[in-house]
Amino acid sequence: MRNLWASLSLGLASTYASGKDTKPSVQNSNHIFNAIHSSMRQWGSSLIHNGMSLFLATVPKGVELYHGTSEPARINGTEWLAFEPEHALVFARSHRGPPPGRGGPPEPERHPHDDEAWHPPERFDERSRYMPWHGDSACDDLEPRHPRHDDRPLTHTAGQRARARMQHEQQRLFIEENSPEDQSYGYLHTYQPKKDLRLLYIDGQSAAKSDKGTLDMQDIVLLHDNPPPKGADDHPPLREPSKDGHRRPGGPMGEVYRAEKLCELAQTEWQGQIDGFLRMELGFEIILCSFERDLDVKRITRATSQDMGGSSGPGGNGNGLNYYQAVASRFDGIGGHRVTLSYDNFISLFAAEGAMTFNEKKLPRARNDSNIIRTFLTATKEMILQPPTTDPKDWQAVADMVVTKYADRIQYLASGDVDNLKSFKAELRQLLRPFIDYGNRNTTLEIHRCATQYVPELSSSSGVAAVSVLNVATTICSTLSNAAEASTHKEALDRTQSLKSWLAWPIWKRCRGCGYNEVCFVPIWPMGGEQEHEHPRCVSNMSEISRGYWGDRGPGPHHRSKSSNKNDLR
């Protein structure tokens, strides 16, 4: 065991040093480490938004979960649940009355702190907003000959949301605004699981209906044999009925289809062992396959339109900031043990040979290669069907020890602020001192002691988490040790800078010291601009944020193009 362990740690470190990686699990251990570290955390998962990994997750019985809808009656079937009530409240609105605080014809421009700004996806909204009267494909779902969707209440689904918005617009334009009082509000449902929910967590911003790769794990991998039909959002192909004569479920970027097919997979292929799917957008959420089987109603309350109003009163912070604050409160974790992940046996495309690539923007993308995907799906099934691990290790806690210890140190050394070799080496020696036997110097042993400080002993059955965390720790320690022996200041600085860029820890993009009336803003679909992804910043007013990161047009906060972007999916 000791040999295996030593060869792992030392072997992996040297592959980094030589730049010649052999196995993907080794090559991508920095990315796997970051996936572990950012799992169930809104901050890192927002930055590293293309999730390449799947984890088994448990949500304990009794945890409060929220659902916003137009209906006062309990919801059954496959639906969406939020972990934060602010998230669900966005959907707690009537499907008859106009959106709160709105009147008059569609406006060509919206301010980002309007509630509209929170509503995905821009493209669909653009069409519905400007062409509700055209009766084109975007409107088809509203026609009564499709009772399946019409009869369903407006709920926390992107598809239903978009359809409901169409209804608002149509009613506003064609029907008198005569909706009676009792139709002008929505409901916040609070549910509690009847049992521990067993979920499949898809990491990154996996609920972001974007074409940047956030849906790769779902659309390319999990639904490989049933990918959402091209143009499953709002485009003309939707008009054609499928073979069985039924219309295909629509919704922006196939959201309803996706949920139904994922639950079908859970029921058949995975023998009912998965109750739903855990994903993230502006807040973590669950696609729960059967509300009636798994949930008790805790309460159902009527929401006020103020809950959703976009206006900022004097001194108030408006709904936009309030919602983002609720989301940001989970930057460092979902909290309260509301979700437990299994780190011993998660699986990742990063670790599967040839399963992913990095695109020109260095974003990880799943490769649509059937042979590789089938192997990965077999591994997914094995993970789901195997009995629970007896002695689970919290690899995220180990990763945390490494990050909290080294983040500031590495950032300082890589900053160039330490401008001479003597001081640089002094810093490094302070860091390494605890691991050195000054009566018997042995660099190999020193690196080994440093790297294994927090890493539990590995065994031959250690999984990808163990190997990746150990590899990252070893790489840090060996780089620091090498830099401590550098003969020039430039060499020492280069080594620490390349270490920092290889690690790419999300914490290095975190704002420092925002005011209590501010949030550290990072783009979360559908909000934000490129600049803010590069340099998240403190923001006190959502009208300050820019656009464009998710492919919406226009960099400025007050600009929105009318044209819809047709470049959907891939």
Ligand X SMILES: *[C@@H]1O[C@H](CO)[C@@H](O)[C@H](O)[C@H]1NC(C)=O
Indicate the Cα dihedral angle 236, 238, 241, 242, nearest 10°: 120
- Percentages helix, strand, coil for the chain (3-state, rounded to 5) are 40, 10, 45
Q: How far is the CB of 10 from ligand X (least distance, A)?
A: 9
CA atoms within 13 A on the CB side of 377: 21
Nearer Cβ to ligand X (56/366):
366
Considering Cα of 439, then 440, then 446, then 449, what sign does the dihedral take?
Answer: negative
Those residues whose C-beta lies under 8 Å from the C-beta of residue 40, and which sit 6 or more positions away, are 57, 201, 284, 333, 334, 339, 341
Nearer Cβ to ligand X (339/545):
545
Q: How far is the CB of 570 from ligand X (least distance, A)?
A: 5
Nearer Cβ to ligand X (73/175):
73
Name the site residues for ligand X (rule: CB under 6 A): 73-74, 76, 219-220, 227, 292, 312, 317-318, 368, 442, 444-445, 541, 543, 570
Cross-strand partners of 68: 188
Pairing outcome for strands 276-281 and 340-341? unpaired
Q: Which helix (H) or strand (E) holds 197?
A: strand 197-204
Question: Dihedrals φ, ψ of 222, to 5°?
Answer: -65, -40
Pairing outcome for strands 276-281 and 65-69? unpaired
Nearer Cβ to ligand X (357/442):
442
Q: How far is the CB of 447 from ligand X (least distance, A)?
A: 10
One-letter amino acid identity for 22? Answer: T
Nearer Cβ to ligand X (70/312):
312
* Dist. CA 48–CA 283, nearest whole Å: 15
CA 496, 497, 501: angle at the middle one, nearest 5? 115
Nearer Cβ to ligand X (312/496):
312
Q: How far is the CB of 428 from ligand X (least distance, A)?
A: 20
Nearer Cβ to ligand X (82/221):
221
Q: How far is the CB of 532 from ligand X (least distance, A)?
A: 16
Nearer Cβ to ligand X (220/303):
220
CB-count burial class (<10 Å; 0-12, 13-18, 19+) for 204: buried
Q: How far is the CB of 33 from ligand X (least distance, A)?
A: 25
Considering Cα of 541, then 542, then 545, then 546, what sign does the dihedral take?
Answer: negative
* Dist. CA 222–CA 216, nearest whole Å: 9
DSSP 20-37: ---SHHHHTHHHHHHHHH
Nearer Cβ to ligand X (400/544):
544
Q: How far is the CB of 292 from ligand X (least distance, A)?
A: 4
Q: How far is the CB of 230 from ligand X (least distance, A)?
A: 7
Q: How far is the CB of 318 from ligand X (least distance, A)?
A: 6
* Dist. CA 376–CA 151, nearest whole Å: 38
How far is CA 132 from its chain centroid? 31
Nearer Cβ to ligand X (219/307):
219
Nearer Cβ to ligand X (171/312):
312
Decide: 451 and 14 in contact? Cβ < 8 Å.
no
Those residues whose C-beta lies under 8 Å from the C-beta of residue 357, and which sit 6 or more positions away, are 364, 365, 367
Q: How far is the CB of 9 from ligand X (least distance, A)?
A: 11
The residue count of the chain comes to: 570
Q: How far is the CB of 312 from ligand X (least distance, A)?
A: 4
